[in-house]
Each structure stands twice: as structure tokens, then as C-alpha cells.
Amino acid sequence: MKTTFSRMVFAFVLILLVALLIVSVTFQILMQRFVKNRTIENLKSHSTTISQVAAAYYEDKTLSQRDFLIQLSVAGELSGSDVVICDAAGRLVLCSDAPFGCDHRGLIITSRDFLRKINAEEYVISEGVVEGLYPESRILVSTAIRQEHSGKLLGIVLVSTPQLSATAITRTFMDNYILLAVMVILFAIVVITLYTRRTSNPLRDMAKTATAFGHGDLRARAQVPKRSPMEIQELALAFNNMAQALEQSEYQRKEFVANVSHELKTPMTTIGGYVDGILDGTIPPQQQQRYLKIVSDETHRLSRLVRSMLDISRLQSQGGIPEEKKVRFDVCECVGKTLLTFEQKITQKQLDVQVTLPDLPVFTRACPDSITQVVYNLLDNAVKFCPEKGLLGVRVRTGSDKIYVSISNTGPTIPPEELPLLFDRFHKLDKSRSENRDGWGLGLYIAKTLICSHDQDISVSSADGVTEFTFTLKLVN
């Protein structure tokens, strides 16, 4: 299986080789074209100079034949090219390599096309083998020798150089280029290897961390060096956040299962024991009605638990209260009606109730049933934990764009470390759960879920023997 490291190194090296190949081919073509053009320009310059010297020799004869031949030979040596002079009919008369006696003397250029071009054009450029003169392929520039005043054709100058010389220059450049390219490739491979290893090592460590996390080590976290690329650091941060969320979710799941198991164990044991006692005759007939009433109460409690859990699941799956279920209603009226349902319990405990409501209606837009459930749960919690002849407070006030509903009760101050846990599922202040058998510890959790479904907040404070829950609603004029 190919690793990220090997894939990246292979990709970088392949891209580099392709790039160097393209540059090499392009450079070779351009270099050959440049050398060829440069060679032709030099041959043109030499042919022009030699044709001018030859025209002066043919016209006024001020230059002796010997001096002319010597100059022709020297010009050929200095230019690094071979010079041939023909007469107007195309018959070869002089060669720079043997000015005082040439084996080619008398050779006639018979190409009519060539002679026609010499008469019509300033330069005739050709490439290839010159039959009878040179066996190798050459670059040849031909120029006419003309009389200065009349323009009469006096002769032809042929200046040439082997194509191999131009190719040799290109080959020298290409040899140096290939050597430099090999050095660049080796250096690039070293740099790419170091860089890729530096990039892939954090990914390999993260893979090991993910494997450990998948095998149950929920505390495993990805550690990447600070010098790692930003994308790697962001990936590690996202992975760690996900791991932390999954760890918390797993903790909550285990706690939820443990709490549900604990809550269900007692009523199920009670129901099973009483039913078995009735069936086997342990409980006498005259007491069976009493114990059947207990079994019925426990069954209803279990039913309420299941219903509450289903309501919570439904709210969480919806992701909020649908807009079609929200209506405009008076919050004060909702709070007042809900408070009346606790009249009997309040009277039994002889509680002092202080209600503070605005003089005018306070409207909000929300789900009335959900808000009524929130107020009911908070009042039920407050009445339950308020001591006899204690104080129960209900207050509604408005802000700039929010409504604040507060429900408070006197009683023991809740420790600060317990306050953040009050809205957790199945949380109870009495860890033994020996008291408040009519509750499951879901009331506050349901209240928070309903308020959060309206995109609002709920909070709790407890100090100096007074505990107060406050939630917000959107104020609608």
C-alpha cells in the first residue's frame, strides 16, 4: 500500500522531471535556432565583406592577385568558414583553403534556380551537401559580386560552415544543461523528501491516534508540532474537538444508561415483588387492594418516565419548535393559570406566595404548551423543595426585547458545584435517591430543552437560602 509520503515524493519528482523535459526540449529548439541564425548572420557579414573586396579587385585591379588570394585566405581563417569564389557563369575560380591551387577549380554550378536567385536576391541561403565541393552537410550563404556603378554580375561568393560546428555548440550547451538539471533534480529530491516527511509524519501520528481512539482509548488526542502546516494543525484541532465531543457523548451515554437502570430497578423490583406476593398468597387478600394501588402508582410513574424521554427525543430530533406551533399569547396569563394548578400543594405546605406581574399584558410568540410545561416543571420543583411555611416567588418583568420569568423558593442553599448539574438528566441533589420518589430528575432537563428549542436561555442561582430559576422569552409588542 502506497503511503502519503511515497505518493507525494513520486508526484513531486514526476512533475519536476516533466517540467525539466519540457524546458530541455524547448531550450534545445531555441538554442539550435539561435545558433543557426547567428551562424547565418556571421556568414552574411563575411560574404558581404569578401564580395566588396572581390568587386574592387575585378574593377580597378589595384589589388594584385596574390594579395587578393592572401586576403581571401586570411578572411576564411578569421571567420572560421570556407570561402569559394565563382565567376559570373558559375565556374569556380578560387578557394580559401587553397588560394594558390585548388582541386575544385573549374567546377561549374549548373543549377539555373541558384543562378536566378543570385541575380534576384541579395543573399541565397541553403543547407545540405554541396556536390563536388564538400562531402558533409553545410550551411551556405551566397552573395553576388557586382560592379559598383552598373550592377553587372562579376562573380559569386559562397561562404559556408559545416552544420556539425553549429550542432557542436548546441551539444556543449545541452551537456552543461543536463549536468545542471541532474544536480537540480538531486537537490530537489532531497528537499522534497525532507519536506514531505515533515508533512506526512503528523498525518501518520494522527492516524495512530485515530486507531487508538477507535479501539476504545477515548482520551487519545492528536499532537502535532507547531511548525506543521496550518492545514495539518487545523485538522488536528478538528480531530481533537471531535474526540472530545465523542468522549463526552460516550460519558453521557454511560451515565444515562446507569441512571435509567438505577431508576427502573427500584420500581420494577417493587412491582415484581408485590405481584409475586399476591400470586403466591404471601400478601393476604384483605391487603391486596393496598398493594395493587402501589403497583398502579409505580406503573404510572414508569409511564411518565417513558413519555418524558420520548418528548425529549422528539424535541431534539426536531432541532427546535416549528414556526407553525408558535402563536402570540400573554405570558402573565400563562404563568397565572399554571400557578393555580398548585393551589392544593401550596395550601398543604402553608407556603407564602409572592407574585409580581406587570399591570399590562406581556406578549410573546412561542409554543404555549411548551412554555406552560416549563413553568409547571419549575413550579413543581420549587414547591417540592420549599419547606413548610416557606416563601414561593413568581415574577415576570420585561427588558428591551426580552421577557424574564423567575420562579424562586426558600430552602437550603444549593452548593455552587451543583448548580451546573441541575439541568442534567436524572440529576438529583440527594445521591441516595431515597427522597422525592415522585420525581425522576427530568423536570429541569425538559425545561431547559424546551427553552433552548425557542433559542432562549434558562439559568439558576442559589444564595442565602433562596434558589431562583429564570428563563427568557422574546418580547412581542
The CB-side HSE value for 312 (13 A sphere, CA atoms) comes to 18
Three-state DSSP state, 388: coil
The angle formed by the CA atoms of residues 353, 358 and 359, to the nearest 5 degrees, is 110
The angle formed by the CA atoms of residues 456, 462 and 467, to the nearest 5 degrees, is 80
pLDDT of residue 383: 92
Phi-psi sector, 94: left (phi>0), alpha (psi -120 to 50), beta: beta
397 pLDDT higher than 50: yes
* Mean pLDDT, the chain, whole residue set: 80
Are the C-beta atoms of 205 and 223 separated by less than 8 Å? Answer: yes
The DSSP code for 221 is -
pLDDT of residue 460: 93
Do the strands 391-398 and 352-356 form a parallel or antiparallel pair, or are they unpaired? parallel
- Is 180 buried (19+), middle (13-18) or exposed (0-12) by CB count in 10 A? exposed
Tens of pLDDT, residue by residue over 17-37, are: 888 788 878 877 887 788 888
Q: How confident is the model at residue 252 (pLDDT cuts 50, 70, 90)?
A: low
Residue-range domains of the chain with CATH? 4-169 (3.30.450.20), 230-317 (1.10.287.130), 323-474 (3.30.565.10)
- Written as nine digits, the cell of 359 is 399591570
Mean pLDDT of 230-246: 83
Mean pLDDT of 342-352: 91
Three-state DSSP state, 95: strand
pLDDT of residue 434: 37
Measured in whole angstroms, the distance separating CA 211 from the mean position of its chain's CA atoms is 23
257 pLDDT higher than 80: no
pLDDT of residue 391: 95
The DSSP code for 421 is G
Mean pLDDT of 226-243: 81
Selection from 151-155, 182-186, 467-471 with the highest mean pLDDT: 467-471
The angle formed by the CA atoms of residues 65, 70 and 75, to the nearest 5 degrees, is 125
Are the C-beta atoms of 97 and 82 separated by less than 8 Å? Answer: yes
Mean pLDDT of 328-346: 92
299 pLDDT higher than 50: yes
125 pLDDT higher than 60: yes
- Is 92 buried (19+), middle (13-18) or exposed (0-12) by CB count in 10 A? buried
Cα separation of 92 and 104, whole Å?
A: 7
Please count the other Cβ atoms lying within 10 Å of the Cβ belonging to residue 94.
Answer: 23
Mean pLDDT of 83-108: 72
Tens of pLDDT, residue by residue over 262-276, are: 667 767 887 888 888
Selection from 61-75, 172-186, 338-352 with the highest mean pLDDT: 338-352
Tens of pLDDT, residue by residue over 423-445, are: 876 665 554 333 444 444 677 88
